[in-house]
Structure 1
Amino acid sequence: MQMILFTMNQQYYLISAASVEEVIDTVTITKVPLAYHWIEGLINLRGTVMTVIGLAELIGVTRSKENRNILIMKNDEEKKGLLIEEVVEVVDIEPADIQLTSSDDQDYYAGVISFPDKVANIIDVNHLIF
């Protein structure tokens, strides 16, 4: 399966490429008053207004100093942006290579993949953002 490898605060994460429609450079995000702390705001993407969610705030990790990309996530006809630090590459992962750990308090966490030079956490946030 294809997954998108990206960084946040010097750590590596993977998310399924099947749930990502496209990756865009960060654009101007309009803040929304009284929104949840993990809602970054709204963007206008080719005439469509969509919510942008700060992934770091959503999963409780330290926010990156600079966020360069937004993952446009899709679920049926609904789309939302996911603010991340930077996409590194798209990788092919064999399901047998996923090392699972039981973590009841983190329902977004789907396992770990070891690469020769790094370790990446697999996250599944679709059920959290849609």
Structure 2
Amino acid sequence: MAEEQLVTFSLGSEEFGVDIMRVQEIIRIPPITRVPKASEYVEGVINLRGNVIPVISLRTRFGMPRVEETDLSRIIVLQVQNKVFGIRVDAVTEVLRLDSEGIEPPPPISLGMDAQFIRGVGKIEERLLILLDLDHIMGGETNNDVCA
């Protein structure tokens, strides 16, 4: 039976998962430098051991209201299609294994988010976990964007 290993995190009351193989590290939120004319969901850039990495606000990307940073807020540093970027999340919850049989295709009405961001819904006992399609989180950028 095939299984996936996921890093799970929360945005408000929703729980999401990303493939652990794409996660480079999870860090506390350092100072973020704003970038002029970047997309609204690009919070800015951070310096991570000498590398400048763009940071995406998943709340903004998904049309959710902004919230104040807490002690649990984190940036998950990802590598997707040879791009390294961070996603800002409310809290990282756990690392877990999920049987492929427990993953359903995304529902036709995509939970109020763009369907392109969702690759499936994982069922873990009574919990539902929205599995993100990371290839589209940064997709469709124009050349003048910080993340292009």
The TM tier, using the shorter chain, reads 0.7 to 0.9
Which residue identity lines up with residue 23 of structure 2 in the other structure?
Answer: V
Counterpart for residue 92 of structure 2: 87
Aligned match of 2:34: 31
Q: Which residue, 109, 115, 129 being the options, matches 2:124? A: 115
Q: TM-score w.r.t. structure 1 length?
A: 0.88
Q: Provide Cα deviations, 1:61-81, integer angstroms capped at 9, x if missing partner.
A: 333433611111113542111
Are 1:61 and 2:70 an aligned pair? no
Higher alpha-carbon deviation: 117-126 or 34-43: 117-126
1:116 CA drift (Å):
3.0
1:25 Cα deviation after fit: 1.0
Contact 1:8–1:64 (CA under 8 A) maintained in structure 2: no
Q: After superposition, give the CA deviation of every residue in 1:20-62 in whole Å (9 maximum; x if it has no partner).
A: 1111111111111222110000100001111101111112233
- Residues in 2 aligned to 1:122 and 1:76: alpha-carbon distance in whole angstroms: 18
Q: Where do 5+ consecutive residues of structure 2 fail to align? A: 140-148
CA distance in 1, matches of 2:14, 2:66: 11
Q: CA contact under 8 A between 1:103 and 1:109: conserved in structure 2?
A: no
Q: Structure 1 CA distance, aligned partners of 2:136 and 2:125?
A: 31
Q: 1:96-118 CA deviation, whole Å, 9 max, x = no partner? A: 10011245851111121222342
Match of 1:46 among 43, 46, 49: 49
CA distance, structure 2, for counterparts of residue 18 and residue 118 of structure 1: 22
Runs of 4+ in 1 over 6 A off after TM superposition: none
Distance 1:76 1:4 in 2: 18
Further displaced range: 8-17 or 100-109: 100-109
Q: CA RMSD in A?
A: 1.9
